[in-house]
Amino acid sequence: MEREVQQLIEMGATRAQARAALKQHKDVMEAAERIFDGSYDNVADEDDDVNMAPARDVPKAPRMVTPDEDEDEDGDKDMDGDDDDYDEDDVEDFADYDSDYEAKAEAGRGPSNADPYAGIFFSKDRREEVIEVEEEPESVFVPDADEKAKLMTQGQWMKGCPEGGEQSFLFSLYQELTDGTCRCPNGCKTSISRQKRDFFPIFAEFQTYIKHLKTIVPRLCAQCHKRFCFACGEPINEGQSSDDDTLFHCPNLQGVILGVGLAMLEQSFIEETPGVIPQPTGKRRKAEAVPVPVAFDDDDDDEDVYPPVNQTKKLKLGVGYAGDAREDNSGHAEALRIQRAKDEKLAQLLTDIRVYLPSIHREGGGKPSDYLVHPTALAHLRRRFNFVGSQLLRNDSLADMSDRSVLYFELLNWLETISCHEALASMMAMPIMVVTSAKALANKRAGTGKGYVRERTITYEGSSGPRELLEAIVIQAQAALKGLEPAKPDSEPEDTEMTEEQKRQTQDDKGKGRDDGRIVIEENQKLLGFCKSIISTAKAIDRSLRETKGDAFVERLHASLPKIPGASSTDTELIVNAGQTEEEAQKAYLDWANRVRFEYCDLSIVSPSGKDEAPHYKFVYNNEARMLANADIPKRSLAIAKELAVLTTNLPVAWNSSVFLRVDESRVDVIKALITGPEGTPYYNGCYLFDIFLGASYNQAPPSVKYITTNGGKFRFNPNLYADGKVCLSLLGTWQGPGWVAGRSTLLQVLISIQSMILCDEPYLNEPAWANGSGSPQSKAYSANVRRMVVKTAMLGNLKNPPEPFADVIRTHFRIKADTLVKQLDDWLEQDDGKLTVPENHGQSRSPPTDDPNGNGLRADVDELKTLLTKIANGQDVDGGLYGEGSSSR
């Protein structure tokens, strides 16, 4: 019985009312109906809780308001916005009806000096459990639409709402529009029965639903011949309401149109987006889950409702090639055409529904429902629009978004419209509640002759809100704009003579450069316009939030947003506290790595001659970079812009292995990368540096990549990493196998391939002639040799003389991991075979154990490294000085 009691409490009943109703009515829904029709108004809780009002005057749970809102004598908000009687002292009585914290707003003297939402909207540390019901929908024929439609059940109407206050509003509106009668408001006592088919049919097209409502909503009283609204029972003023205004008459219409419309949008999005419903993945979720609708089925297990968990399966063989296979690109154009058709369909549905969003800035002036916002409007947006919007905003490819701009432009319009309305704007900062688990309960009979209903206990947890998700796209757009800066499509090309090398590098494949030029420039302009739209939308949203919620609200919102890459390099020193336990250290490491994984910096150096000439770079490809100093290659600029957009937010960072990138602030084609070795490999926790240049033919040709961590060109760490810096990888065209695909392959793929396929657990197998030697003595000796080189160069060497621009990253990496590294080094000492280090490490790993009393040098290197780790763990630099004295404290 306690479960049923809790369900009724979630709907808005008191505990005493729930228990009393369930004693007489065993069915939960029947008990709820009796509670909300006022049958148990006189029942009080043992602790003298205030009695519940009748259903037709459902009490409003504490809800989100701003300090300048007023309330009338009945406790309802003055929807006219008149604040002449505003009492500043009443601010502390306001609260957010969506918040599980039930926190009172801070007292203040206006939005400029206090944030009434502090502690309410910005924390993701929320967890709610609710019981959700699934019923079999009924199908009926709707005569005026000449179409058969399924009727939305109460379970479908309320599904996905974990907020108690919102549930009561949803329940009340559904009951009002599906049961009982609507009386003529003119006193003639005429009444018309409402049925579920009136307001809750789900048609194939949204516009069919709108035409149906326009037919049934305006009613002419058969007795007094006056018009009234079938949704709210209030008069329709003749002469002041056109056919187009019919559905803007009252909040009830707004609530039901948004509810049904967004349910249709959610279903359409699921149907048009394969894989959006997750498959069984395990018992727990990642910290940042993706919102998904709960899929009910006949099984009792709860596997089908978990969000997808992206787990990278470590490859046994870390090879940089894969035979002579070739990627099948057939059907790509057809897939794009199908995707475009799906996007246009979804965009049109979004456009049609957006008409009924509350908007006081509506063309032609606001309508009644724009000012009289139904309490369910926010609930509909948070549970259904947030699902679709968050799926789209989590797209990690700006290029894909630009290609699907018809859909994304409409999404941006929605976000801007929501942010402009005081009643909805706070949603931009609220965490999105996502399903993390579900447990099936026993089926119950809905009522005599009504069959059974299925119930599940759904657990929701907070995740990133809409504005936070948008910020990740803003960061990508800003990076893309930086990549597009060299492109000058409107300028006249300089009539200067090019060198033969420049001609060779800038010529397009198969002589099509002249024909492709105009197309590329148009694509540049398209991406440029899309990026500017994203940034301007974010600014417009923030501007609207300042107007509706106050400066403090926006400032707190911005403090929770992801930071623009490169911002940390200009901030005050970032102190990273490694904590006392490994769990605390891992969290600190992840937070820090996410902050600094991608940054712009100055990689140039003063010209050796001192003359005013093209800058030089701390870079193995310095000559190639200087040669293209003034080059204007639109196709290349477009490719780099897309690349930067992806890299800013998608570089993999984890305790076990991370990728860090530094891009020259004025030459985005000049890049340096640092990859930390993956766990379970002989490269673990070492720091491996690469110089990367995006040449004149990029992305038609792969980037140029050089390995730097070679102990001055002496050590070969892997069959795919030569002592001279060559990187053997089929993507780079330096080994056989699937190669670079022009326009589709990316630098991110190259980096991840190096991280997972070259820096692997058994590098001996990367040599084709030794590919069958897994677990052999030769393979084990090879790995032992690699570990010795890693300690000497990738750990000790990098810590003693950290290369720029990764000095801060390397020091912080080793400082946070100091305790873990000490244990790792002890394990490596035990595993060492006592043999001498073989620098080239190519077919010579069978060297005999050394007779030297000093051994092979591994213990000496480990001891020195441990000493340095102790220093930096205690806040000292490797030279004995304290952090902050000329060195970073990261």
The residues annotated with a catalytic role in the active site are 728
Give bridge partners of residue 676 from the DSSP assignment.
687
String of b and e for 733-751 (b: at least 16 CB within 10 Å)? ebbeeebbeeeebbbbbbb
Q: How far apart (Å, rounded) are the C-alpha atoms in residues 832 and 782? A: 11
DSSP β-ladder status, 201-202 and 147-151: antiparallel
Q: Under 8 Å CB-to-CB from 280, ≥6 apart: which residues?
A: 303, 304, 306
String of b and e for 334-353 (b: at least 16 CB within 10 Å)? eeeeebeebbeebbebbebb
Give bridge partners of residue 674 from the DSSP assignment.
660, 689
DSSP β-ladder status, 218-220 and 227-229: antiparallel
Q: How far apart (Å, rounded) are the C-alpha atoms in residues 32 and 175? A: 10
Would you report the helix, strand and coil content of the chain in percent, each value rounded to 5?
45, 10, 45
DSSP β-ladder status, 201-202 and 127-134: unpaired
DSSP 177-242: HHSSEEE-TTSS--EEE--HHHH-EE-SSHHHHHHHHHHHSEEE-TTT--EEETTT--B--TTS--
Give the helix/strand (H/E) hosting 659.
strand 659-664
For the CA atoms of 839, 840, 844, 845, what is the dihedral angle to 10 degrees?
A: 60
Under 8 Å between Cβ of 178 and 170? no
Q: In 3D, which of 880, 863, 628, 642 has the Cα closest to residue 744?
A: 642
- The amino acid present at 458, given as its one-letter code, is I
Which residue has tokens 């695909």? 741
Which tokens go with 426?
A: 């706070």
Q: Which DSSP category does 322 fall into? A: B
Q: Which DSSP category does 510 fall into? A: G
Under 8 Å between Cβ of 179 and 194? yes
Q: In 3D, which of 322, 328, 319 has the Cα closest to residue 737?
A: 322
Q: Under 8 Å CB-to-CB from 306, ≥6 apart: which residues?
A: 278, 280, 281, 282, 283, 284, 285, 435, 436, 437
Q: How far apart (Å, rounded) are the C-alpha atoms in residues 890 and 665? A: 21
Q: Is 853 exposed, middle or buried (0-12, 13-18, 19+ CB in 10 A)?
A: exposed
* Helix 251-272 vs helix 206-216: crossing angle, to nearest 10: 160
Bond preceding residue 805 cis, omega within 30 of 0? yes
Q: In 3D, which of 284, 285, 280, 305 has the Cα closest to residue 295?
A: 305
- The amino acid present at 38, given as its one-letter code, is G
Q: In 3D, which of 294, 312, 290, 311 has the Cα closest to residue 303?
A: 294
Q: How far apart (Å, rounded) are the C-alpha atoms in residues 480 and 486? A: 11
Q: Classify 135 as helix, strand or coil.
A: coil
Q: Classify 139 as helix, strand or coil.
A: strand
Q: In 3D, which of 287, 422, 401 has the Cα closest to residue 347?
A: 401
